Amino acid sequence: MEEIISLMQPFYSSEDIKKIIEKLTEYIKELPRYTKDLEDTDWYKSSNIYFIYPDAIQTEENFPLENIKFFLPHIKELGCDAVHLLPFFQSPMRDKGFDISNYYLVRENLGGMEKLMEVKEKAESLGMHIFIDLVLNHVSKDHEWFKKAENGEEFYRDFFIYTKETPQYVGEVIKKSRIYAEYLVEGEKKLVSIAFPELSGAIPHWVQGKDWYWYYHTYYPHQLDVNWKNVNVFIEFAKILLFWSSRGFNFRFDAVPFVGKGAYKILDEHDPFTHAIVAAFKSLSQLVYPNSTFILEVNEHITSDIRYFGTTKTKQAELLYNFQLCALLWVSLIEEDASYIWGKLKQEEKIPLHAQWINFLRNHDEISFAGIKKELLEKIHKKLFPLGLPFRKGYGLSGRTLSLLQKNENKLFMSYFLLASLPGCMLFPYGDEFGKENIPAENLPLEDQQDTRNINRGTLDANLMFSIKGKRINSEIAKILRVRQTYKKYFHSLFEEISVDKTIFAAKYKSEDTEICIFINLSNKKQQITYDCSSYKEIAHINSVICSNTQINLEAYSGIWLKKHIE
């Protein structure tokens, strides 16, 4: 507990620190300690992580979590060694489970705690790791804390950020590909990023409760931000963390930059309190699960993002999503230009030794183009947006990968071959291995049509999974992911750019005695490369490639991995 004291002393009073230690020490005594050994403690550095909603597979015979359990061997066979299971907690389900009303209960319609633990046991038997979501920034309005606050209990009202006076909202402002609300606060103008501008309410960030107080929210009006300045909030969430850590789960933390802030949080603003909370939670989790691994959702400026890894001495997280690279991957795909990828990769090399990036073409939300330069955003709108639906008023794009690639399977294989060729971890969306496409918006229930992200959600259909198309795509994607698993150690080693035409992504990875070269044609035209391949052996390719001693001929959207032994 000494590290917790050191981290939190600058932010809480001595009485508060004493309360933290007493409450959590007593709580930890009641919990089991999860001590399963890992042969490879750096497993996460080049992991293939598969994400899926807990209700993504529906059958009449089983609870959805049972279906997930039976689906795990497929995920393993696909070439993934970890699963991010999206929120399964008790929830009114107005935000796909991210609006949590009880952090200790698994939704009964999913199968409850019993079926969740069966999922975890099955994953462990397959040598797989499970990440679960922990939402620290907000709770559902159906949470007991907020119900008590609205009923006038001052103790619980202080769990939230609130004001008696009506906030002074000036209007909406667009700046650097983000949408902001402008407020007048004590005579000073403040700009605050609006997460969901289409769905933020009459006064963005504020909603009036039944008690006539105004409560702050970063996301939906029915998701109220909690007040981390209140030590009781820290203690209650620490107990939640310890409860699930003691059962051997790893964590994905949602919306981390907003945790610990007050109202009107500024993006990219360094907040030592937020970092202290995350580092304290890392230390706490390891008290009951020494190998607990954290993923943080952070999408700010690259220098701000890197801070969330912490340091070698004070870790905060092992893994961060690479949102900036995701956006530039899509720019590279539509522009057929690898230089956008290299420009970002060269910014990301200096991270702590324990840390790694998660690369992805899509996560469970929209593709964010926040921060993209205006001229690039115009190209994205012209070439990519007709294939999906806008989110955040056009600064984000909803859609399934295959749909956004014009339903071109060869381009899908190339895109995942490219992703698999990048240093770091790889995130894979459920259904992409079967070629799942956008759900037509008009087919969604009326209440789901406002949130365009719902077109890239939905369930896995057996007709698709077992179709000729589904089997064909699954087979090719599995080849890519499995070969990456075979050579995974290279993807957290030294790498360098090979100078070729900009339409080709070309990289070299080196270990002590081996070198791997990668060439991928991003264009729809045949490309020829002059390169000495005489001492190399092919280990993987997609689409059509011909390799001789001195030349590599890459057909449209094709790629190759070559390996040689270094004397």
Q: Pull the structure tokens for residue 423.
A: 């240093």
Mind listing the pLDDT tens digit for each residue in 10-62?
Answer: 999 999 999 999 999 999 999 999 988 788 889 999 999 999 999 999 999 99
User: Quick one: pLDDT at residue 377?
Assistant: 92
Mind listing the pLDDT tens digit for each residue in 124-161?
Answer: 999 999 999 999 999 999 999 999 999 999 999 999 99
- Furthest-apart CA atoms within the chain: distance in Å: 78
Mind listing the pLDDT tens digit for each residue in 421-434?
Answer: 999 999 999 999 99
Q: Return the CA Rg of the chain.
A: 24
Q: Are 422 and 490 in contact (CB under 8 A)?
A: no
User: Quick one: pLDDT at residue 349?
Assistant: 67
Angle subtended at Cα 535 by Cα 529 and Cα 538, rounded to the nearest 5 degrees: 70
Mean pLDDT of the chain: 94
Mind listing the pLDDT tens digit for each residue in 512-562?
Answer: 888 999 999 999 999 999 999 999 999 999 999 999 999 999 999 999 999
Of the given ranges (44-48, 343-347, 377-381), which has the lowest mean pLDDT?
343-347
The three-class DSSP label of residue 251 is strand
Calpha distance 504→506 (Å, rounded): 6
Phi, psi (degrees; rounded to nearest 5) at 49: -105, 125
Query: Taking Cα atoms as reference points, which of 174, 178, 144 lies closest to residue 159?
Result: 144
